């Protein structure tokens, strides 16, 4: 087990190193932040001083090596715009993004699983067909367009919910959260629903497929033959069996919710990491862009590492094959 974990950690470190080179090169070779940050009336001496203070006068490979050296010490550089550590800016925005992602995941699970089970049990009914048609729309319609339509309908036309911002927040274990205040909850509903639509469609289809497969198993037929109620058969025998693939997929997809909430956060001006990224791209704030992208890469590497370790615990043949290879 120790050899397996060490091998996975070394692979994760190699992935991070390669991605750091790709991300750093991709971001630092595109555009010139000096043109965005230096005042138009600055003279040549002031311009050179700013370029030197940012380290932009160095060759690319020296900039990269300095970045890697600082990153190994936990320093991802300072924001050109805010003059603050880039990682601190990201961590400040992280609670808002996590709150949005968790709310979206809960919406997808709470609504998607019952609808998927119903669609699986009543496959030929018009309600089931309507649910599956709606799930296809959830996959197909662009998130930003749905978000704009939600703002237009619920905020502008009906005036029921606010369209932008996070609303009032309170401290929970030192972390600002908005779902514990009425104003914050109202601000959370529209972006959370918008972000949940794709995952909701996926959960519906997973739950339906699992139900269609499980409902014909012998233990379900045996439960019916014993005279168990439909509610008990669904709640005990069917539910726990269809949840295994659903939970596995959602666990992996949670990282995607965090990383790809950029569109939703931009449409609803939600002050999370995604909006910070978009704002940073607008100002060519390279340290923040690089830190965000590497944070996302690190998040996926960590999640996959945990999944690999859990698989090896559940199935020892996985780690034995790794050791032999």
pLDDT in tens, 172-219: 888 888 888 898 899 999 999 999 988 888 889 888 888 888 888 888
Residues 6+ positions from 105 with CB-CB distance below 8 Å = 196, 199, 250, 254, 257
Q: In percent, how much of the chain has pLDDT > 90?
A: 9
Reply yes or no on whether the pLDDT at 325 is more than 60.
Answer: no
Cα–Cα nearest to 96, from 298, 268, 295, 286 = 268
C-alpha count within 13 angstroms, C-beta hemisphere, residue 121: 14
79: left (phi over 0), alpha (psi -120 to 50) or beta: beta
Residue 225's pLDDT is what?
82
Q: Give me the pLDDT at residue 324, please.
A: 58
Cα→Cα distances 280→37, 43, 90, 183, Å: 12, 25, 11, 28
Q: Give CA separation, 183 vs 153, 163, 242, 245, 247, in Å.
A: 19, 12, 36, 36, 31
Q: Convert the pLDDT of each residue in 90-132 to its tens digit.
A: 888 888 988 999 999 899 989 998 999 888 888 888 998 898 8
**Cα distance between residue 302 and residue 259, in whole Å:** 13
């Amino acid at each position: 087990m120790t050899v397996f974990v060490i091998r996975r950690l070394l692979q994760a470190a190699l992935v991070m190193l390669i991605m750091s080179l790709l991300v750093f090169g991709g971001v630092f070779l595109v555009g010139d932040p000096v043109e965005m940050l230096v005042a138009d009336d600055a003279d040549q001496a002031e311009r050179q001083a700013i370029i030197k203070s940012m380290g932009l006068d160095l060759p690319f490979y020296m900039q990269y090596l300095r970045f890697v050296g600082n990153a190994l010490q936990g320093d991802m550089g300072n924001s050109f715009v805010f003059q603050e550590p880039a990682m601190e800016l990201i961590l400040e925005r992280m609670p808002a993004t996590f709150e949005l992602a968790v709310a979206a995941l809960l919406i997808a699970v709470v609504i998607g699983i019952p609808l998927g089970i119903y669609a699986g049990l009543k496959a030929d009914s018009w309600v089931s067909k309507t649910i599956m048609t709606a799930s296809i729309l959830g996959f197909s319609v662009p998130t930003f367009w749905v978000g704009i339509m939600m703002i237009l309908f619920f905020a502008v036309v009906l005036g029921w919910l606010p369209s932008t911002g996070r609303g009032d927040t309170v401290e929970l274990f030192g972390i600002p959260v908005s779902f514990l205040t009425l104003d914050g909850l109202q601000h959370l509903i529209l972006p959370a629903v918008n972000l949940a639509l794709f995952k909701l469609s996926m959960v519906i289809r997973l739950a339906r497929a699992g139900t269609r497969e499980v409902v014909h198993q012998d233990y379900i037929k045996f439960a019916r033959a014993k005279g168990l109620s439909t509610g008990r058969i669904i709640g005990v025998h069917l539910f726990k069996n269809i949840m295994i693939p659903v939970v596995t997929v959602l666990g992996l997809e949670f990282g995607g919710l965090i990383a790809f909430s950029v569109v939703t956060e931009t449409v609803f001006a939600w002050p999370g990491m995604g909006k910070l990224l978009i704002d940073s791209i607008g100002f060519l704030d390279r340290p923040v862009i690089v830190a965000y992208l590497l944070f996302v890469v690190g998040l996926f590497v960590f999640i996959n590492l945990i999944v690999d370790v859990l698989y090896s615990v559940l199935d020892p043949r996985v780690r034995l094959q790794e050791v032999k290879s």
